[in-house]
Chain A
Amino acid sequence: MQEFLQQLVGGLAIGGIFASLALALVLIYNAMGLVNFAQGEMAMLATFVAYALINRGMSYWIALPVTLVLAFGGGIVIQRVVIRPVEKAPILTLVIITLGLATLLNGLAGFIFGYVPRSFPSAFSAQTIDLLGVFISYRDLGVIGVSGLVLLAVYLLLQHTTVGLTLRAAAHHPEASRLLGVQVSWMLALGWGLAAAVGAVSGIMVAPILLLEPNMMQSIIIYAFAAAVLGGIESPIGAVVGGLIVGVTVNLAGAYLPFVGGDLQLAVGLAIIIVVLIIRPNGLFGRAAARRV
Protein backbone atom coordinates (compact mmCIF):
# COMPACT_ATOMS: atom_id res chain seq x y z
CA MET A 1 0.00 0.00 0.00
CA GLN A 2 2.79 2.42 0.96
CA GLU A 3 4.62 1.61 -2.20
CA PHE A 4 1.44 2.19 -4.16
CA LEU A 5 0.83 5.59 -2.58
CA GLN A 6 4.40 6.61 -3.27
CA GLN A 7 3.99 5.68 -6.92
CA LEU A 8 0.72 7.57 -6.95
CA VAL A 9 2.31 10.79 -5.67
CA GLY A 10 5.21 10.35 -8.10
CA GLY A 11 2.61 9.94 -10.85
CA LEU A 12 0.82 13.13 -9.79
CA ALA A 13 4.11 15.04 -9.90
CA ILE A 14 4.99 13.88 -13.40
CA GLY A 15 1.32 14.30 -14.30
CA GLY A 16 1.49 17.97 -13.29
CA ILE A 17 4.32 18.38 -15.77
CA PHE A 18 2.29 16.71 -18.52
CA ALA A 19 -0.70 18.84 -17.54
CA SER A 20 1.22 22.09 -18.01
CA LEU A 21 2.35 21.14 -21.50
CA ALA A 22 -1.08 19.74 -22.36
CA LEU A 23 -2.65 23.00 -21.23
CA ALA A 24 -0.29 24.87 -23.53
CA LEU A 25 -1.46 22.67 -26.42
CA VAL A 26 -5.11 23.26 -25.52
CA LEU A 27 -4.65 27.05 -25.34
CA ILE A 28 -3.40 27.16 -28.91
CA TYR A 29 -5.86 24.54 -30.12
CA ASN A 30 -8.70 26.62 -28.73
CA ALA A 31 -7.39 29.81 -30.27
CA MET A 32 -6.98 28.49 -33.79
CA GLY A 33 -7.93 24.83 -34.07
CA LEU A 34 -4.29 23.92 -34.44
CA VAL A 35 -2.19 21.33 -32.62
CA ASN A 36 1.13 23.04 -32.07
CA PHE A 37 3.76 20.37 -32.66
CA ALA A 38 6.46 22.86 -31.70
CA GLN A 39 5.12 23.29 -28.16
CA GLY A 40 7.64 20.86 -26.66
CA GLU A 41 10.59 22.44 -28.44
CA MET A 42 9.43 25.90 -27.35
CA ALA A 43 9.43 24.63 -23.77
CA MET A 44 12.87 23.08 -24.22
CA LEU A 45 14.32 26.33 -25.55
CA ALA A 46 12.80 28.24 -22.64
CA THR A 47 14.40 25.76 -20.26
CA PHE A 48 17.79 26.44 -21.86
CA VAL A 49 17.17 30.14 -21.29
CA ALA A 50 16.49 29.42 -17.61
CA TYR A 51 19.64 27.30 -17.53
CA ALA A 52 21.72 30.12 -19.01
CA LEU A 53 20.29 32.61 -16.50
CA ILE A 54 20.96 30.34 -13.52
CA ASN A 55 24.45 29.58 -14.83
CA ARG A 56 25.21 33.29 -14.87
CA GLY A 57 24.47 33.39 -11.17
CA MET A 58 20.81 34.32 -11.11
CA SER A 59 18.90 32.63 -8.33
CA TYR A 60 16.43 29.94 -9.32
CA TRP A 61 13.40 31.80 -8.03
CA ILE A 62 14.27 34.91 -10.01
CA ALA A 63 15.28 32.99 -13.13
CA LEU A 64 11.94 31.16 -13.18
CA PRO A 65 9.66 34.21 -13.54
CA VAL A 66 12.17 35.95 -15.82
CA THR A 67 12.14 32.89 -18.08
CA LEU A 68 8.35 32.79 -18.11
CA VAL A 69 8.20 36.43 -19.15
CA LEU A 70 10.77 35.82 -21.90
CA ALA A 71 8.86 32.72 -23.05
CA PHE A 72 5.66 34.75 -23.11
CA GLY A 73 7.34 37.35 -25.31
CA GLY A 74 8.88 34.62 -27.46
CA GLY A 75 5.47 33.02 -28.00
CA ILE A 76 4.04 36.35 -29.14
CA VAL A 77 6.97 36.90 -31.51
CA ILE A 78 6.53 33.41 -33.00
CA GLN A 79 2.83 34.05 -33.59
CA ARG A 80 3.45 37.44 -35.17
CA VAL A 81 6.41 36.43 -37.33
CA VAL A 82 5.79 32.79 -38.22
CA ILE A 83 2.08 32.03 -37.80
CA ARG A 84 0.29 35.27 -38.62
CA PRO A 85 1.41 35.53 -42.26
CA VAL A 86 -0.17 32.12 -42.89
CA GLU A 87 -3.07 32.44 -40.45
CA LYS A 88 -5.70 31.87 -43.13
CA ALA A 89 -3.88 28.97 -44.79
CA PRO A 90 -5.39 25.45 -44.66
CA ILE A 91 -4.86 23.72 -41.34
CA LEU A 92 -2.46 21.18 -42.87
CA THR A 93 -0.17 24.02 -43.92
CA LEU A 94 -0.17 25.33 -40.37
CA VAL A 95 0.54 21.88 -38.94
CA ILE A 96 3.52 21.50 -41.26
CA ILE A 97 4.73 24.95 -40.26
CA THR A 98 4.65 23.99 -36.56
CA LEU A 99 6.55 20.79 -37.42
CA GLY A 100 9.12 22.90 -39.24
CA LEU A 101 9.25 25.26 -36.29
CA ALA A 102 9.90 22.30 -33.98
CA THR A 103 12.84 21.17 -36.12
CA LEU A 104 14.14 24.72 -36.33
CA LEU A 105 14.01 25.32 -32.57
CA ASN A 106 15.57 21.92 -31.90
CA GLY A 107 18.44 22.70 -34.27
CA LEU A 108 18.82 26.19 -32.84
CA ALA A 109 19.15 24.82 -29.31
CA GLY A 110 21.66 22.23 -30.50
CA PHE A 111 23.64 24.89 -32.32
CA ILE A 112 23.80 27.24 -29.34
CA PHE A 113 24.00 24.83 -26.42
CA GLY A 114 25.20 21.55 -27.94
CA TYR A 115 23.76 18.08 -27.51
CA VAL A 116 25.59 17.08 -24.33
CA PRO A 117 22.99 16.47 -21.60
CA ARG A 118 23.37 18.91 -18.74
CA SER A 119 22.13 18.57 -15.23
CA PHE A 120 19.56 21.18 -14.38
CA PRO A 121 19.10 22.35 -10.80
CA SER A 122 15.91 21.70 -8.92
CA ALA A 123 14.66 24.16 -6.36
CA PHE A 124 13.59 21.28 -4.18
CA SER A 125 15.76 18.75 -2.41
CA ALA A 126 15.54 15.09 -3.28
CA GLN A 127 15.05 14.24 0.40
CA THR A 128 11.85 12.63 1.43
CA ILE A 129 9.44 13.31 4.22
CA ASP A 130 7.34 10.77 5.99
CA LEU A 131 3.66 11.55 5.56
CA LEU A 132 1.71 8.93 7.56
CA GLY A 133 4.17 6.23 6.58
CA VAL A 134 4.38 7.25 2.94
CA PHE A 135 7.74 8.62 1.85
CA ILE A 136 7.33 11.54 -0.51
CA SER A 137 10.17 13.58 -1.92
CA TYR A 138 10.20 17.35 -1.57
CA ARG A 139 10.92 17.38 -5.28
CA ASP A 140 7.63 15.68 -6.10
CA LEU A 141 5.72 17.94 -3.75
CA GLY A 142 7.44 21.01 -5.20
CA VAL A 143 6.63 19.98 -8.76
CA ILE A 144 3.00 19.37 -7.81
CA GLY A 145 2.89 22.74 -6.05
CA VAL A 146 4.44 24.75 -8.88
CA SER A 147 2.32 23.04 -11.57
CA GLY A 148 -0.77 23.57 -9.44
CA LEU A 149 0.00 27.27 -9.01
CA VAL A 150 0.57 27.78 -12.72
CA LEU A 151 -2.63 25.97 -13.64
CA LEU A 152 -4.55 27.98 -11.03
CA ALA A 153 -3.09 31.22 -12.38
CA VAL A 154 -4.15 30.33 -15.93
CA TYR A 155 -7.60 29.37 -14.71
CA LEU A 156 -8.05 32.67 -12.86
CA LEU A 157 -6.76 34.62 -15.84
CA LEU A 158 -9.13 32.91 -18.28
CA GLN A 159 -12.22 32.82 -16.09
CA HIS A 160 -12.00 35.91 -13.92
CA THR A 161 -10.37 38.70 -15.91
CA THR A 162 -11.55 40.80 -18.83
CA VAL A 163 -8.51 39.78 -20.86
CA GLY A 164 -9.36 36.14 -20.26
CA LEU A 165 -12.94 36.75 -21.31
CA THR A 166 -11.92 38.40 -24.57
CA LEU A 167 -9.34 35.65 -25.12
CA ARG A 168 -12.03 32.98 -24.86
CA ALA A 169 -14.48 34.95 -26.97
CA ALA A 170 -11.88 35.53 -29.69
CA ALA A 171 -10.96 31.85 -29.70
CA HIS A 172 -14.48 30.52 -30.12
CA HIS A 173 -16.26 33.34 -31.95
CA PRO A 174 -13.75 35.50 -33.83
CA GLU A 175 -16.32 37.19 -36.07
CA ALA A 176 -18.74 38.08 -33.28
CA SER A 177 -15.83 39.21 -31.08
CA ARG A 178 -14.54 41.61 -33.71
CA LEU A 179 -17.97 43.25 -33.78
CA LEU A 180 -17.66 43.78 -30.03
CA GLY A 181 -14.34 45.54 -30.44
CA VAL A 182 -12.09 42.62 -29.45
CA GLN A 183 -8.73 42.74 -31.23
CA VAL A 184 -8.83 39.12 -32.31
CA SER A 185 -5.44 38.99 -33.96
CA TRP A 186 -3.71 40.22 -30.80
CA MET A 187 -5.72 37.78 -28.74
CA LEU A 188 -4.22 34.97 -30.84
CA ALA A 189 -0.77 36.35 -30.13
CA LEU A 190 -1.60 36.54 -26.45
CA GLY A 191 -2.73 32.90 -26.59
CA TRP A 192 0.61 31.88 -28.07
CA GLY A 193 2.48 33.86 -25.43
CA LEU A 194 0.48 32.29 -22.65
CA ALA A 195 0.94 28.81 -24.09
CA ALA A 196 4.68 29.36 -24.40
CA ALA A 197 4.92 30.47 -20.76
CA VAL A 198 2.82 27.59 -19.43
CA GLY A 199 4.78 25.11 -21.56
CA ALA A 200 8.04 26.56 -20.25
CA VAL A 201 7.01 25.56 -16.73
CA SER A 202 6.78 21.93 -17.82
CA GLY A 203 10.27 22.11 -19.32
CA ILE A 204 11.79 23.66 -16.21
CA MET A 205 10.07 21.12 -13.95
CA VAL A 206 11.08 18.10 -16.01
CA ALA A 207 14.69 19.13 -16.70
CA PRO A 208 16.06 18.07 -13.29
CA ILE A 209 14.56 14.61 -13.84
CA LEU A 210 15.54 14.02 -17.48
CA LEU A 211 18.74 16.10 -17.92
CA LEU A 212 18.57 19.09 -20.24
CA GLU A 213 19.34 18.55 -23.93
CA PRO A 214 17.61 19.58 -27.17
CA ASN A 215 15.59 16.35 -27.44
CA MET A 216 14.45 16.44 -23.81
CA MET A 217 10.80 17.19 -24.52
CA GLN A 218 10.26 14.68 -27.29
CA SER A 219 8.81 12.02 -25.03
CA ILE A 220 7.06 14.55 -22.78
CA ILE A 221 5.16 16.02 -25.73
CA ILE A 222 3.74 12.55 -26.50
CA TYR A 223 2.41 12.30 -22.94
CA ALA A 224 1.06 15.84 -23.24
CA PHE A 225 -0.74 14.88 -26.46
CA ALA A 226 -2.18 11.88 -24.63
CA ALA A 227 -3.30 14.14 -21.77
CA ALA A 228 -4.86 16.72 -24.07
CA VAL A 229 -6.66 14.07 -26.13
CA LEU A 230 -7.87 12.31 -23.00
CA GLY A 231 -9.21 15.56 -21.56
CA GLY A 232 -10.89 16.50 -24.82
CA ILE A 233 -8.51 18.67 -26.80
CA GLU A 234 -10.62 21.83 -26.31
CA SER A 235 -10.88 21.73 -22.53
CA PRO A 236 -8.31 23.42 -20.24
CA ILE A 237 -9.64 21.53 -17.22
CA GLY A 238 -9.61 18.37 -19.29
CA ALA A 239 -5.92 18.93 -20.05
CA VAL A 240 -5.13 19.13 -16.34
CA VAL A 241 -7.19 16.10 -15.37
CA GLY A 242 -5.87 14.23 -18.41
CA GLY A 243 -2.30 15.13 -17.46
CA LEU A 244 -2.71 13.79 -13.94
CA ILE A 245 -4.39 10.58 -15.15
CA VAL A 246 -1.69 9.97 -17.75
CA GLY A 247 1.05 10.67 -15.20
CA VAL A 248 -0.39 8.28 -12.64
CA THR A 249 -1.18 5.61 -15.23
CA VAL A 250 2.27 5.70 -16.76
CA ASN A 251 3.94 5.64 -13.36
CA LEU A 252 1.84 2.76 -12.03
CA ALA A 253 2.23 0.81 -15.27
CA GLY A 254 5.98 1.25 -15.04
CA ALA A 255 6.02 0.06 -11.44
CA TYR A 256 3.54 -2.81 -11.51
CA LEU A 257 3.46 -4.20 -15.02
CA PRO A 258 6.77 -6.03 -15.32
CA PHE A 259 6.73 -6.03 -19.12
CA VAL A 260 6.32 -2.22 -19.20
CA GLY A 261 9.09 -1.24 -16.80
CA GLY A 262 10.93 1.92 -17.78
CA ASP A 263 11.21 1.09 -21.46
CA LEU A 264 7.61 0.84 -22.54
CA GLN A 265 6.17 3.79 -20.61
CA LEU A 266 6.04 5.89 -23.75
CA ALA A 267 4.06 3.10 -25.40
CA VAL A 268 1.52 3.43 -22.58
CA GLY A 269 1.15 7.11 -23.46
CA LEU A 270 0.61 6.26 -27.13
CA ALA A 271 -1.82 3.50 -26.18
CA ILE A 272 -3.86 6.05 -24.21
CA ILE A 273 -4.07 8.29 -27.29
CA ILE A 274 -5.23 5.41 -29.49
CA VAL A 275 -7.74 4.01 -27.00
CA VAL A 276 -9.28 7.43 -26.33
CA LEU A 277 -9.55 8.21 -30.03
CA ILE A 278 -11.31 4.89 -30.63
CA ILE A 279 -13.62 4.76 -27.61
CA ARG A 280 -14.28 8.40 -26.80
CA PRO A 281 -12.91 10.74 -29.45
CA ASN A 282 -14.22 13.82 -27.64
CA GLY A 283 -12.27 12.95 -24.50
CA LEU A 284 -13.51 13.25 -20.95
CA PHE A 285 -14.48 16.93 -21.05
CA GLY A 286 -14.93 17.57 -24.75
CA ARG A 287 -18.26 18.31 -26.30
CA ALA A 288 -19.67 16.30 -29.16
CA ALA A 289 -17.95 17.27 -32.37
CA ALA A 290 -21.25 17.58 -34.20
CA ARG A 291 -21.84 21.13 -35.31
CA ARG A 292 -24.79 22.84 -36.86
CA VAL A 293 -24.12 23.81 -40.43
Chain B
Amino acid sequence: MALLELEEVRAGYGPTSVLHGISLEVPDGGVVSLLGANGAGKTTTLRAITGGVRWTGDIRFRGRSLRRMATEEIVRRGIAHVPEGRGICTELTVDENLRLGSHLRRDAPEVKKDYDRVFEYFPVLKQRRRLSASTLSGGEQQMLALARAFLMRPTLMLLDEPSLGLAPIIVRSIFEIIRSINETSQVAVLLVEQNARIALDLSMTAYVLEVGRVAVHGAAAELRSDDSVRRSYLGY
Protein backbone atom coordinates (compact mmCIF):
# COMPACT_ATOMS: atom_id res chain seq x y z
CA MET B 1 0.00 0.00 0.00
CA ALA B 2 1.38 3.35 -1.02
CA LEU B 3 1.59 6.21 1.49
CA LEU B 4 -0.65 8.44 -0.62
CA GLU B 5 -3.08 7.20 -3.23
CA LEU B 6 -5.24 9.29 -5.53
CA GLU B 7 -7.93 7.41 -7.39
CA GLU B 8 -9.85 9.01 -10.26
CA VAL B 9 -9.83 12.39 -8.51
CA ARG B 10 -11.98 15.05 -10.12
CA ALA B 11 -12.00 18.57 -8.81
CA GLY B 12 -12.60 22.15 -9.87
CA TYR B 13 -13.58 25.62 -8.87
CA GLY B 14 -17.32 26.25 -9.09
CA PRO B 15 -18.54 25.20 -12.53
CA THR B 16 -15.00 24.98 -13.96
CA SER B 17 -13.58 21.51 -13.59
CA VAL B 18 -9.82 21.30 -13.54
CA LEU B 19 -9.00 17.69 -12.73
CA HIS B 20 -10.70 15.05 -14.89
CA GLY B 21 -9.80 11.88 -13.04
CA ILE B 22 -6.25 11.82 -11.69
CA SER B 23 -4.78 8.65 -10.24
CA LEU B 24 -1.36 8.60 -8.71
CA GLU B 25 0.64 7.08 -5.87
CA VAL B 26 3.41 8.26 -3.62
CA PRO B 27 5.27 5.40 -1.92
CA ASP B 28 6.54 5.60 1.66
CA GLY B 29 9.70 7.71 1.70
CA GLY B 30 9.60 8.23 -2.08
CA VAL B 31 9.99 11.35 -4.17
CA VAL B 32 7.38 11.82 -6.89
CA SER B 33 7.20 14.70 -9.35
CA LEU B 34 4.07 16.16 -10.82
CA LEU B 35 5.00 17.91 -14.03
CA GLY B 36 3.15 19.70 -16.77
CA ALA B 37 2.38 23.07 -18.28
CA ASN B 38 0.62 25.95 -16.60
CA GLY B 39 -3.02 25.15 -15.99
CA ALA B 40 -2.55 21.39 -16.23
CA GLY B 41 -3.91 20.95 -12.69
CA LYS B 42 -0.73 20.41 -10.67
CA THR B 43 -1.53 22.97 -7.97
CA THR B 44 -5.16 21.88 -7.86
CA THR B 45 -4.05 18.29 -7.26
CA LEU B 46 -2.05 19.38 -4.20
CA ARG B 47 -4.94 21.55 -3.02
CA ALA B 48 -7.30 18.59 -3.31
CA ILE B 49 -5.03 16.47 -1.14
CA THR B 50 -5.09 18.96 1.74
CA GLY B 51 -8.78 19.76 1.34
CA GLY B 52 -8.42 23.21 -0.24
CA VAL B 53 -10.78 22.31 -3.07
CA ARG B 54 -13.77 19.96 -3.29
CA TRP B 55 -13.16 16.68 -5.05
CA THR B 56 -14.74 13.35 -5.97
CA GLY B 57 -13.06 10.00 -6.42
CA ASP B 58 -10.85 9.00 -3.53
CA ILE B 59 -7.71 10.21 -1.81
CA ARG B 60 -6.18 7.93 0.79
CA PHE B 61 -3.32 8.68 3.14
CA ARG B 62 -1.86 5.69 5.01
CA GLY B 63 -4.86 3.77 3.82
CA ARG B 64 -7.41 6.16 5.33
CA SER B 65 -9.67 8.18 3.06
CA LEU B 66 -9.36 11.95 3.43
CA ARG B 67 -12.88 12.49 2.19
CA ARG B 68 -14.69 15.40 3.87
CA MET B 69 -11.78 15.95 6.22
CA ALA B 70 -10.91 19.54 7.17
CA THR B 71 -7.53 20.90 6.11
CA GLU B 72 -6.36 21.20 9.73
CA GLU B 73 -7.22 17.57 10.36
CA ILE B 74 -5.40 16.34 7.23
CA VAL B 75 -2.32 18.34 8.12
CA ARG B 76 -2.30 16.97 11.65
CA ARG B 77 -2.13 13.45 10.20
CA GLY B 78 1.31 14.19 8.81
CA ILE B 79 1.06 16.05 5.52
CA ALA B 80 3.01 19.32 5.24
CA HIS B 81 1.90 21.43 2.27
CA VAL B 82 4.11 24.30 1.12
CA PRO B 83 1.59 26.07 -1.08
CA GLU B 84 1.93 28.14 -4.21
CA GLY B 85 3.40 31.46 -3.07
CA ARG B 86 5.02 29.72 -0.06
CA GLY B 87 2.40 30.71 2.54
CA ILE B 88 4.81 32.75 4.63
CA CYS B 89 3.14 34.76 7.41
CA THR B 90 4.71 38.10 6.60
CA GLU B 91 3.14 39.75 9.65
CA LEU B 92 5.21 37.49 11.88
CA THR B 93 8.92 37.12 12.52
CA VAL B 94 11.03 34.33 11.05
CA ASP B 95 11.12 32.64 14.45
CA GLU B 96 7.35 32.86 14.85
CA ASN B 97 6.88 31.28 11.43
CA LEU B 98 9.11 28.40 12.47
CA ARG B 99 7.24 28.01 15.75
CA LEU B 100 3.99 27.72 13.81
CA GLY B 101 5.53 24.71 12.11
CA SER B 102 6.29 22.95 15.39
CA HIS B 103 3.40 24.28 17.48
CA LEU B 104 1.44 21.03 17.53
CA ARG B 105 4.35 18.85 18.57
CA ARG B 106 4.72 17.64 22.15
CA ASP B 107 8.15 15.98 21.81
CA ALA B 108 10.21 18.95 23.00
CA PRO B 109 13.68 17.32 22.89
CA GLU B 110 13.10 16.14 19.32
CA VAL B 111 11.79 19.55 18.33
CA LYS B 112 14.98 21.10 19.61
CA LYS B 113 17.07 18.72 17.54
CA ASP B 114 14.99 19.52 14.49
CA TYR B 115 15.59 23.25 15.01
CA ASP B 116 19.32 22.54 15.07
CA ARG B 117 18.95 20.61 11.81
CA VAL B 118 16.98 23.47 10.26
CA PHE B 119 19.64 26.01 11.17
CA GLU B 120 22.31 23.70 9.80
CA TYR B 121 20.45 23.52 6.50
CA PHE B 122 19.64 27.24 6.44
CA PRO B 123 22.11 29.26 8.52
CA VAL B 124 20.61 32.46 7.15
CA LEU B 125 17.35 31.76 9.00
CA LYS B 126 19.22 31.66 12.28
CA GLN B 127 20.75 35.05 11.61
CA ARG B 128 17.34 36.51 10.76
CA ARG B 129 15.32 34.81 13.49
CA ARG B 130 14.13 38.04 15.09
CA LEU B 131 13.36 39.85 11.85
CA SER B 132 9.99 40.14 10.22
CA ALA B 133 9.52 37.43 7.59
CA SER B 134 8.55 40.17 5.15
CA THR B 135 12.18 41.34 5.05
CA LEU B 136 13.39 38.02 3.58
CA SER B 137 14.27 37.65 -0.09
CA GLY B 138 12.35 35.21 -2.28
CA GLY B 139 14.95 32.50 -1.83
CA GLU B 140 15.05 32.99 1.93
CA GLN B 141 11.25 32.84 2.08
CA GLN B 142 11.35 29.54 0.22
CA MET B 143 13.92 28.28 2.73
CA LEU B 144 11.68 29.43 5.58
CA ALA B 145 8.68 27.65 4.06
CA LEU B 146 10.68 24.46 3.67
CA ALA B 147 12.13 24.73 7.18
CA ARG B 148 8.69 25.30 8.65
CA ALA B 149 7.31 22.28 6.81
CA PHE B 150 10.23 20.18 8.07
CA LEU B 151 9.51 21.24 11.67
CA MET B 152 6.02 19.79 11.36
CA ARG B 153 7.81 16.44 11.15
CA PRO B 154 5.53 15.19 8.38
CA THR B 155 5.53 11.82 6.69
CA LEU B 156 4.70 13.52 3.40
CA MET B 157 5.63 16.95 2.06
CA LEU B 158 3.72 18.56 -0.77
CA LEU B 159 5.94 21.17 -2.41
CA ASP B 160 4.39 23.54 -4.93
CA GLU B 161 7.05 24.93 -7.29
CA PRO B 162 9.91 25.48 -4.85
CA SER B 163 12.02 26.82 -7.75
CA LEU B 164 9.59 29.55 -8.78
CA GLY B 165 11.24 32.94 -9.22
CA LEU B 166 14.58 31.89 -7.75
CA ALA B 167 18.09 32.18 -9.15
CA PRO B 168 19.47 28.85 -10.48
CA ILE B 169 22.16 28.60 -7.84
CA ILE B 170 19.61 28.97 -5.05
CA VAL B 171 17.31 26.47 -6.72
CA ARG B 172 20.14 23.96 -6.77
CA SER B 173 20.91 24.37 -3.08
CA ILE B 174 17.24 24.16 -2.12
CA PHE B 175 16.83 20.94 -4.09
CA GLU B 176 19.91 19.51 -2.41
CA ILE B 177 18.28 20.15 0.94
CA ILE B 178 15.00 18.59 -0.19
CA ARG B 179 17.00 15.52 -1.18
CA SER B 180 18.76 15.47 2.17
CA ILE B 181 15.50 15.82 4.11
CA ASN B 182 14.04 12.96 2.09
CA GLU B 183 17.04 10.72 2.60
CA THR B 184 17.86 11.33 6.24
CA SER B 185 14.34 11.73 7.63
CA GLN B 186 12.47 9.37 5.26
CA VAL B 187 9.98 12.10 4.44
CA ALA B 188 8.11 11.32 1.23
CA VAL B 189 7.84 14.23 -1.21
CA LEU B 190 5.25 15.05 -3.85
CA LEU B 191 6.87 17.77 -5.88
CA VAL B 192 5.06 20.06 -8.31
CA GLU B 193 7.46 21.68 -10.75
CA GLN B 194 7.65 23.53 -14.04
CA ASN B 195 11.39 22.98 -14.04
CA ALA B 196 11.17 19.36 -15.20
CA ARG B 197 14.89 18.77 -15.50
CA ILE B 198 15.75 19.46 -11.89
CA ALA B 199 12.60 17.74 -10.63
CA LEU B 200 13.35 14.54 -12.54
CA ASP B 201 16.88 14.49 -11.16
CA LEU B 202 15.46 14.33 -7.67
CA SER B 203 12.51 11.95 -8.17
CA MET B 204 12.07 8.26 -8.54
CA THR B 205 8.81 8.47 -10.42
CA ALA B 206 7.01 11.25 -12.24
CA TYR B 207 3.55 12.01 -13.54
CA VAL B 208 3.02 14.44 -16.39
CA LEU B 209 -0.35 16.17 -16.34
CA GLU B 210 -2.05 17.55 -19.39
CA VAL B 211 -5.31 19.51 -18.97
CA GLY B 212 -6.36 17.67 -15.85
CA ARG B 213 -5.35 14.15 -16.86
CA VAL B 214 -2.25 12.06 -16.38
CA ALA B 215 -0.67 12.01 -19.86
CA VAL B 216 2.42 9.96 -19.05
CA HIS B 217 3.86 8.42 -15.96
CA GLY B 218 6.77 6.22 -15.14
CA ALA B 219 10.22 6.04 -13.64
CA ALA B 220 11.95 9.42 -13.70
CA ALA B 221 15.00 7.99 -15.46
CA GLU B 222 12.86 6.61 -18.28
CA LEU B 223 10.95 9.82 -18.82
CA ARG B 224 14.19 11.73 -18.87
CA SER B 225 15.72 9.57 -21.55
CA ASP B 226 12.61 9.35 -23.74
CA ASP B 227 13.08 12.06 -26.35
CA SER B 228 9.48 12.20 -27.52
CA VAL B 229 8.17 12.61 -23.96
CA ARG B 230 10.78 15.21 -23.27
CA ARG B 231 9.96 17.26 -26.35
CA SER B 232 6.19 17.06 -26.17
CA TYR B 233 5.64 17.41 -22.42
CA LEU B 234 8.70 18.62 -20.65
CA GLY B 235 9.88 21.33 -23.02
CA TYR B 236 13.60 20.92 -22.84
Partner of B87, one of A165, A168, A179, A183: A179
Known A-B contacts A179-B83, A181-B75; the reply to A172 vs B91 at CB < 8 A is: yes
Q: How far is the CA of A280 from the CA of B90 in the complex (A)?
A: 23
Chain B positions within 8 Å of A165 at CB level: 92, 96, 99-100, 103
**What is the CA–CA distance of A20 and B83 in the complex, to the nearest angstrom?**
37
B89 within 8 A of A: yes
Would you list which residues of chain B between 41 and 84 have a CB under 8 Å from chain A? 50, 52, 71-72, 75-76, 80-81, 83
- B72 and A183 contacting across the interface, CB-CB below 8 Å: yes
B76 partner residues in chain A, CB cutoff 8 A: 181
Interface set, chain A 169-191, CB cutoff 8 A to B: 169, 172-173, 175-184
CB of B148 within 8 Å of the partner chain: yes
0 or 1 for each of B186-217: is its CB under 8 Å from A? (1 = yes) = 00000000000000000000000000000000
Given A176-B83, A178-B75, A181-B76: A166 in contact with B103 (beta carbons within 8 A) = yes
A162: Cβ under 8 A from any B Cβ:
yes
- Neighbour of B89 across the interface among A169, A181, A183, CB < 8 A: A169
A181 near B152: Cβ-Cβ < 8 Å: yes
Option from A162, A166, A178 in Cβ contact (under 8 Å) with B71: A178
| Chain A residue nearest in CB terms to B158 | A179
Evaluate contact between A182 and B87: CB separation under 8 angstroms: no
Residues from chain B with Cβ under 8 Å of A178 in the complex: 71-72, 75
Task: Output the least CB separation between B101 and chain A (Å).
Answer: 6
Contact B87 A173 (CB under 8 A): yes
A-chain residues with CB within 8 Å of residue B89 when the two chains form the complex: 169, 172-173, 176-177
- Minimum distance in angstroms from B20 CB to a CB of chain A: 25
Q: Which residue of A lies closest to B79 (CB)?
A: A179
Provide the A64-99 mask, 1 if CB < 8 A to any CB of B, else 0: 000000000000000000000000000000000000
**B101 nearest CB neighbor, chain A only:** A180
Q: Which residues of A contact B83 (CB under 8 A)?
A: 175-176, 179
B104 proximal to A (CB < 8 A): yes
B88–A176 touching, CB < 8 Å: yes
Report the interface size for chain B: residues with CB under 8 A from the other chain.
23
Residue contact B87 to A175, C-beta cutoff 8 Å: yes
- Chain A residues, Cβ within 8 Å of B81: 179
Taking the nearest CB of chain A, how far is it from the CB of B232, in angstroms? 34
Q: Kindly list chain B residues whose C-beta atoms are within 8 Å of the C-beta of A177.
A: 89, 100
Name which residue of chain A comes closest to B81, CB basis. Answer: A179
CB distance from B96 to the nearest CB of A (A): 6
Q: Is the CB of B87 within 8 A of A181?
A: no
- The smallest C-beta distance from A160 to any residue of chain B, in angstroms, reads 11
Within 8 A of A (CB), among B94-120: 96, 99-101, 103-104
Q: How far is the CA of A181 from the CA of B87 in the complex (A)?
A: 13
CB distance from B44 to the nearest CB of A (A): 15
CB distance from B50 to the nearest CB of A (A): 6
Q: Which residues of B contact A168 (CB under 8 A)?
A: 91-92, 96
Residues on the A chain within 8 Å of B71, using CB: 178-179
User: Which residues of A are found within 8 Å of B103, using beta-carbon distances?
Assistant: 162, 165-166, 180-182
Chain A residues with CB under 8 Å of B75's CB are: 178-181
Taken together as a complex, chains A and B put the C-alpha atoms of A58 and B204 apart, in Å, by 70
Residues of B within 8 A of A172 (CB): 89-92
With A and B bound together, what is the CA distance between A184 and B52 in angstroms? 14
Pair B87/A176 contact, Cβ less than 8 Å:
yes
Closest to B96 in A: A165
Residue on A with the closest CB to B97?
A169
Whether the Cβ atoms of A181 and B104 lie closer than 8 Å is yes
Q: Which residues of A contact B80 (CB under 8 A)?
A: 179
Chain A residues with CB below 8 A from B87, complex form: 173, 175-176, 179
What would 11 more interface pairs be, CB under 8 Å, given A165-B96, A176-B88, A178-B72?
A: A165-B99, A166-B100, A168-B91, A168-B96, A169-B89, A172-B91, A175-B52, A175-B83, A175-B87, A177-B100, A178-B75
B contacts, CB < 8 Å to A: 50, 52, 71-72, 75-76, 80-81, 83, 87-92, 96, 99-101, 103-104, 148, 152
> Lowest 9 A-B CB distances belong to which pairs?
A176-B87, A172-B91, A178-B71, A181-B75, A173-B89, A179-B81, A180-B100, A181-B76, A181-B104
- A and B contact pairs by CB, cutoff 8 A, 17 listed: A162-B99, A165-B103, A168-B92, A169-B96, A172-B89, A172-B90, A173-B90, A175-B87, A176-B87, A176-B88, A176-B89, A177-B100, A178-B75, A179-B50, A179-B81, A180-B148, A184-B72
